[in-house]
Amino acid sequence: MPAPHGGKLIYRVNRNKDIDDMDSIEISKELAHDIENIAFGVFSPLEGFLCREDFEHVLHHMRLQNDLPWTIPIVFDLEGNEFKEGDEVLLKAENGMLATFAIEEIYDYNKKEYAEKVFKTTDIQHPGVKKVMDMKNKLAGGKIELVKEGRENFEKYYLKPYETRILFKEKGWREIVAFQTRNVPHLGHEYVQKTALTFVDGIFINPIIGKKKKGDFKDEVILKAYDALIQHYYLKDRAVLAILRTEMRYAGPREAIFHAIVRKNFGCTHFIVGRDHAGVGNYYGPYEAQEIFREFPDLGITPIFFKSFFYCKKCGGVVNEKICPHDKEHHIYYSGTAIRKMIQNGEIPPETMMRKEVAEIVMSYENPFVE
Amino acid sequence: MAEEKEEKGKYTTVSIPTPLAEKIKKRIEGTGFNSISSYVTYVLRELLASMEEEEKEEVFSKEDEEKIKERLRALGYLD
């Protein structure tokens, strides 16, 4: 099993910390998720929010200042006059999460540069850019300590890296492939997963649960759909389904690297990267998220690249362009947009696209999409 | 200018034999590497990463590990 990113699994939890006299600030659920991810080592080696030098290194070099690959800034924004450097403050979220934040540094940043570097665009239509432009004008860096976890849905699917590492060991898995998703599974996803699984010991299916854009599938629908797929079409001893609580950034190639690092921390050895990973609109090339891995020979997790799978009527099964000799007229493509449209129109996706059991789950919801 | 200075500050010089540098120069022609430095950086990062140790066993005490296994059993992840 690979060592966590940076060599050590971070654990920054102190349930007995005295917080009685601390000044406090309310934070968003998304920030609370980042804090729990830092505290439980999902974002190892981070021990808190990025200070200026790390932030600038991440923007310009896609690495922390110690040269470790890191592509997405994990930052805390503030107006700047609430606290000062050296303060230790209590962070409170609506879900009940409590954490302390030792503010080491408060610094200015350039939102346009942030957007341009991370999202490769400053177009405000891009959801990631919009979020950055709406952020407060300063950033604060420093270490956090989790005092109390927030209450959230889907608790039974929530595993921390120290738990998955023990789970994989107990299952006798040495090589584990991770699959990141924010969709209900169609046959193309299943074949990608099973093709990868053929060469390793187990698959870790790890849907992102959290803030998504309008039109994405609701979290509950994704989980129920995967439960149905695994129950009917996977060997129980070869697949683990657990969630990752973080928001989608839609940063395409940079986010693919970030997603791979996170799965390395969970103990995975391989990471599946498909077409337009973490993309949105037409901001990134279809395989840009695969190409970026060439720049990271020291990632510590092996990417597995796939082109799209499709159904070929002549082959009579799910294939890809490397193994199917037939013309496009025989192919049915698994377009997420087309499947969404079908579901919106009340049409059940055919079995050449989606397993019956999965389609039944999706169709059982009046509206399976984020509004 | 100030930015350039700051950028330079993040690098250091390492000497390698001239014939080796010439070999690298030829090797990187037509590749994505735009300098000998970027190639050497890539190779060194790859080499150092390959030497990283696997996770050491016994990260948790037996007692902690047993508690984690209990939770995994309760959630249905382990039999």
* Nearest Cα residue to A189 out of A151, A241, A142: A241
Neighbours of A142 (CB within 10 A): 22
ipTM of the predicted structure?
A: 0.87
The residue assigned the tokens 């999202």 is A119
Query: A335: which residues sit within 8 A by CB, 6+ positions away?
Result: none
* Nearest Cα residue to A256 out of A304, A212, A218, A184: A304
What confidence category does residue B4 fall into, taking pLDDT thresholds of 50, 70 and 90? very low
Secondary structure element (H or E) that encloses residue A100, with its range:
strand A98-102
Check whether domain A155-363 has CATH 3.40.50.620, yes or no = yes
CA distances from A91 to A33, A102, B73 (A): 12, 10, 33
Instruction: Decide: A320 and A310 in contact? Cβ < 8 Å.
Output: yes
- Average pLDDT over every residue of B22-35: 91
Q: What is the pLDDT along chain A (371 residues), one digit of tens a residue?
A: 899 999 999 999 999 999 999 999 999 999 999 999 999 999 999 999 999 999 999 999 999 999 999 999 999 999 988 899 999 999 999 999 999 999 999 999 999 999 999 999 999 999 999 999 999 999 999 999 999 999 999 999 999 999 999 999 999 999 999 999 989 999 999 999 999 999 999 999 999 998 777 888 999 999 999 999 999 999 999 999 999 999 999 999 999 999 999 999 999 999 999 888 888 889 999 999 999 999 999 999 999 999 888 999 999 999 998 899 999 999 998 887 788 889 989 899 999 899 999 999 999 998 999 88
Q: Which of A95, A183, A275, A320 is catalytic?
A: A183
Tokens of A6: 């940076």
Q: Which of A182, A245, A254, A355 is catalytic?
A: A182
A297 interaction partners in chain B (CB closer than 8 Å): 42-43, 45-46, 49
Instruction: Decide: A272 and A232 in contact? Cβ < 8 Å.
Output: no
Q: CA-nearest residue of chain A to B43?
A: A297
B76 interaction partners in chain A (CB closer than 8 Å): 156
The residue assigned the tokens 């341009």 is A116
Bridge partner residues of A176 (DSSP): A202
Which amino acid, A296?
F
Neighbours of A81 (CB within 10 A): 8
Give φ, ψ of A178 to 5 degrees. Answer: -100, 140
Report the interhelical angle of A52-61 vs A111-119 (nearest 10°). Answer: 40
Query: A184: which residues sit within 8 A by CB, 6+ positions away?
Result: A217, A221, A222, A225, A226, A354, A358, A361, A362, A368
State the smallest CA–CA distance between residue B39 and chain A in angstroms: 11
* Nearest Cα residue to A368 out of A265, A255, A225, A251: A225
B51 has a chain A CB within 8 A of its CB? no
Tokens of B1: 């200018």
Mutate to test the interface with A, among B67, B75, B78 (most CBs of A within 10 A): B75
- According to the model, what pLDDT value does residue B67 have? 95
* Nearest Cα residue to A199 out of A304, A287, A299: A304
Which amino acid, A302?
T
A339 has a chain B CB within 8 A of its CB? no
**Nearest CB to A170; choose among B60, B71, B78:** B78
Secondary structure element (H or E) that encloses residue B8, with its range:
helix B2-8
> Annotated catalytic, A183?
yes
> What's domain A24-148's architecture?
Roll (3.10)
CA distances from A286 to A110, A177, A224, A275, B43 (A): 28, 22, 28, 5, 28
Tokens of A140: 């604060």
Q: Domain residues of chain A, as ranges? A: 24-148, 155-363
Cα distance between residue A298 and residue A68, in whole Å? 8
A159 with B77: Cβ contact below 8 A: yes
Give φ, ψ of A145 to 5 degrees. Answer: -140, 130
Cα distance between residue A187 and residue A152, in whole Å? 30
